Copies of this chain bind each other. A is one copy, B any other.
Amino acid sequence: MRGMEQPKQYQLIDYLSGFATPKRLERFEEVLSARTRYITVALENIFQGHNASAVLRSMECIGIQDIHVIENEYAYQVNPEIALGASKWLTVIRHSQRSDNTADAVHRIREKGYRIVATTPRRDAVAMDAFDLEKGPAVFFFGTELEGLSDAMLSLADEHVRIPICGFTESFNVSVSAALVMHPLAQKLRKSPSIPWRLSKAEKQALRLEWLKQSVRRSDLLIRRFFTAGS
């Protein structure tokens, strides 16, 4: 259904909406109004499925729509118990086709206009509180539990940020790190009068359709019926 004409897309959304409760449709609008692609997350080689799933869950709660998953070494699988169904509301973009998926992902995301930000415990990185959101959309890379981001990733990044640590333990769990970085940034975005953090009308429409497909029972059959009746 990619490339579907706009009027047709609107009609299909109307049709499927008839099978969803008003409460659910209202919730869609609430969530859409808080959703952003201005900041996004990329996970590099997060080999523990429960960690990646925990990040998805938190990002869904925070209102971050896009999650990039880069697999150089480890295949990624959503752990349903931990993601609690979060992934069906998110746009998960996998980068796993090339020999060097990190460089490829950085290139593709930068082309879309994002600043490439590495998160690292290194003390010479900028403290996250000082991160400047005004300078443009940003993607935040998080690495594996033990090794952090790859050296390749760290050198490809435009900026480096860290979460201050005050204890003996050297790092937060990756899902905690991602939440601690993204939650305050998302809050700041929503309070900003000038940053264009909201989804466009077209993006909202595309998500309404995706979410209806996820929520309406037997939406696959209904969509087939819609196209058969309309042809």
Binding site for B on A (CB under 8 A): 27, 31, 34-35, 54, 57-58, 60-63, 82, 84-86, 89, 129, 163-169, 171-173, 175-176, 179-180, 183-184, 186-187
Contact = CB atoms under 8 A, between A and B. Distances in A.
From A58, A129, A166, A172, name the one whose CB has the most chain B CB atoms within 10 angstroms.
Answer: A166
A63 B173 contact: no
A27 B166 CA distance: 10
Name the 3 nearest CB pairs between A and B, nearest first: A63-B166, A34-B166, A60-B167
Contacts of A85: 168-169
Contacts of A187: 129, 164
Contacts of A84: 169
Contact of A62 (B82, B89, B167): B167
Contacts of A165: 61
B176 A89 contact: no
A54 B176 contact: yes
A40 to B, nearest CB: 14
A172 B31 contact: no
Contacts of A171: 61
Given A57-B173, A60-B169, A163-B183, 5 more contacts: A57-B169, A61-B169, A166-B186, A175-B176, A180-B183
